[in-house]
Amino acid sequence: MLNVARLRILRELHLRGTLAAVAEALTYTPSAVSQQLSQLEREAGVPLLERVGRGVRLTDAALTLVGHTDVILTQLEAAEADLAASQPTVQGVLRVALFQSVVLELAPATLTLLGERHPALQVEIIQRDEDLASSGMMAQEFDVVLGEEFPGRPHPIRPDVHREDLLRDSVMLALPSHGRWADLPSMLDRLADAPWALDPEDTAMGAWSRGVCRAAGFEPIVRFDTPDPLLQAHLVRTGHAAALMPSLLAARHLAGTRLASLPDDPHRMLYTATRTGRTAHPAVRAFRAAIAEVARIHQINA
């Protein structure tokens, strides 16, 4: 009989790539991870790992087992959700990965609402960029993640992930209202010489922002490369840069700037995602209901 705990270690190796990373994630020693995988090989009766340089690679048989493990873990999570649903209160710990603009604008009101409705539920907020959050969710580090999808950059839909759209959030051009760059025109195609504050290019927002500028006919001069939207807003407000900013931050954090619409009025889509086996869990459903209500109120008041 194959051991589920050992199958999960094999799956973690597939997700994380190295024995050291698996050991760190599961709070094992690397030698303990190796021992567990060796035992799993004996149980399976076929080689599961092959040496590649200093590391290891999963064999085809191991990849087959990982596929079955995904199904097994999904069913186990569905069973846990059914058991949790049989309880009179929503309780336990829910780990949620968010990025900064959502942490600033939606998370506080969501936590307040959940505290009023489900006081026995403990929500832990972890700030992560989207790629790390998504991989962490699949490795069962997080129960729910908040993602963002930009125009022309659709996210692939995984069969083992359940997604719910949350908020359609327009992206605006933010310009200084005073200082050296106060006279910048509010038309994107005339900002080739402007200094910009943009997210790093290896992030979704950063790649999309540079694509918008390139479509307008210029390569942006990025003087400030930062994933911090509050720093970007501050640099615009103090007269040092132009930026592309989500409307979610506009009301509170872009006072003292000039805001203009972008061509074709682009929007990012915010969404929640969870593993399919976790979808019916009362804690996940309670969180999604609360943040959706907060998002609706935000749209009404925007």
CA nearest neighbour of 174 among 153, 198, 150, 151: 198
Fold classification of 90-168+268-301 (topology level) = D-Maltodextrin-Binding Protein; domain 2 (3.40.190)
Q: In the Cβ-directed half-sphere of 63, how many Cα atoms lie within 13 Å?
A: 6
pLDDT at position 167 is 92
- Residue-wise pLDDT for 28-50, tens only, equals 888 888 899 999 999 989 999 99
Can you give the pLDDT at residue 262?
Answer: 94
Task: Provide the pLDDT for residue 184.
Answer: 85
Tell me how far apart the alpha carbons of residues 235 and 177 are, in angstroms, rounded to a whole number.
11
Question: What pLDDT band is residue 100 in, cutting at 50, 70 and 90?
Answer: confident
Q: What would the mean pLDDT of 139-151 be, rounded to a whole number?
A: 91
Pairing of strands 195-198, 221-225: parallel
Task: Kindly report which listed range (17-26, 86-95, 263-272) carries the lowest average pLDDT score.
Answer: 17-26
Q: Where in the chain is the domain with CATH 3.40.190.10?
A: 90-168+268-301
pLDDT attached to residue 302: 64
Given the structure tokens 């596929």, which residue do they identify? Answer: 67
- Dump pLDDT digits (tens) for 113-142: 999 999 999 999 998 887 778 888 888 889
Worst-scoring range by mean pLDDT, 19-28, 64-73, 194-203, 268-277? 19-28
CATH topology of domain 169-266: D-Maltodextrin-Binding Protein; domain 2 (3.40.190)
- What gap in Å lies between CA 217 and CA 287, rounded to an integer? 43
Answer yes or no: are the C-beta atoms of 66 and 12 closer than 8 Å.
no
Structure tokens at 295: 């998002």
Mean pLDDT of the region 287-293? 97
Which residues belong to CATH 3.40.190.290 in the chain? Answer: 169-266
CA distance 11 to 25: 12
CATH architecture of 4-83: Orthogonal Bundle (1.10)
Tokens of 134: 């998504």
Say which residue, 185 or 244, is predicted with more confidence. 244
Q: Where in the chain are all domains bearing CATH 1.10.10.10?
A: 4-83
Contact of 37 with 6, CB cutoff 8 Å? yes
Tell me, what DSSP letter sits at residue 227? S
